[in-house]
Amino acid sequence: MTSLPETTQRKLGLVIDLDTCVGCHACVIACKGWNTENYGAPLSDQDPYGAAPSGTFLNRVHSYEITPPHGQAQLVHFPKSCLHCEDAPCVTVCPTGASYKRSEDGIVLVNESDCIGCGLCAWACPYGAREMDPTAKVMKKCTLCVDRIYNENLPEEDRTPACVRTCPAGARHFGDLGDPDSDVSQLVAARGGFDLMPDLGTKPVNKYLPPRPKDQWEETDILAPFLEPVAESPQGFLGWLDRALERL
């Protein structure tokens, strides 16, 4: 009897290159624009032109100033959105089942008609990737632009998350991380991509690519002074990143 070939579960997600991101916030703007027009209720803003503006975003970019032992202060830009974890604690704690993970592609979504705005999912998410929309009174999060990636009315090149489509630096990549032969999986393997806070056991699908080793940097590269001490310790950058996230 011939055995059937093993199939891998699709795990759609993002690979974000921390070496390439320039902190331009184009991904933030594209995400806000697309989801305000196409994702349920618009992503609201409060007092946008006043003294204390605030708003709901599904994607943010945090910038950290780093002062290396030898050299001038530098900026490191860290994009953050839902990581679509395999073992997503936001799904586990949701009392109404509004938060759920799709079996067909691994995307974590919120059924807003079932969301009661209790905020438990935001409390459970260790990455701070969920935001309560104070106008809609429901939780909002990255959907990986599920309304784009399967939309056959769009040109094929547009069937990708808005943040990926708009990134001018090519720092964001989208694909099936459940397929070891996919472009994104190959990129993670080649660049030493890593999980964010792997000790938490959430198994995030999204991966981050670390800065290049110092022997791949030219003397004119702006972050070269920062990377020198990091390259000598494999855990140097990841340790700093974990400590920075703990302060969010």
Q: Which residues form the domain of 204?
A: 12-246
- Specify the pLDDT at position 238: 55
- Angle formed by the axes of helices 236-246 and 224-231, to 10°? 110
Are the CB atoms for 101 and 88 separated by under 8 Å? yes
Question: Which pTM does this prediction carry?
Answer: 0.81
- Specify the pLDDT at position 78: 93
- Specify the pLDDT at position 247: 47
CA distance 21 to 176: 21
Low-confidence ranges of the chain (pLDDT < 70): 1-8, 39-41, 66-72, 74, 212-248
Q: How many Cβ atoms from other residues are within 10 Å of residue 130's Cβ?
A: 23
Look at residue 135 and tell me if it is in a domain.
Answer: yes
Look at residue 184 and tell me if it is in a domain.
Answer: yes
Find the largest Cα–Cα distance for the chain: 72
Q: Which residues contact 162 (CB under 8 A, 6 or more apart)?
A: 27, 30, 31, 33, 34, 35, 145, 148
Strands (DSSP E) along the chain, which ranges? 12-17, 45-46, 54-55, 60-66, 74-80, 99-101, 108-110, 131-133, 138-140, 172-176, 207-209
Look at residue 2 and tell me if it is in a domain.
Answer: no
CA distance 140 to 129: 9
SS3 40: coil
Q: Which residues contact 199 (CB under 8 A, 6 or more apart)?
A: none
Look at residue 4 and tell me if it is in a domain.
Answer: no
Look at residue 6 and tell me if it is in a domain.
Answer: no
- Specify the pLDDT at position 178: 96
Q: Which two tokens stand for residue 161?
A: 């998350």
Are the CB atoms for 246 and 60 separated by under 8 Å? no
- Specify the pLDDT at position 9: 87
Task: Give per-residue pLDDT as tens, 136-182.
Answer: 999 999 999 999 999 999 999 999 999 999 999 999 999 999 999 99
Q: Which residues contact 247 (CB under 8 A, 6 or more apart)?
A: none
Look at residue 1 and tell me if it is in a domain.
Answer: no
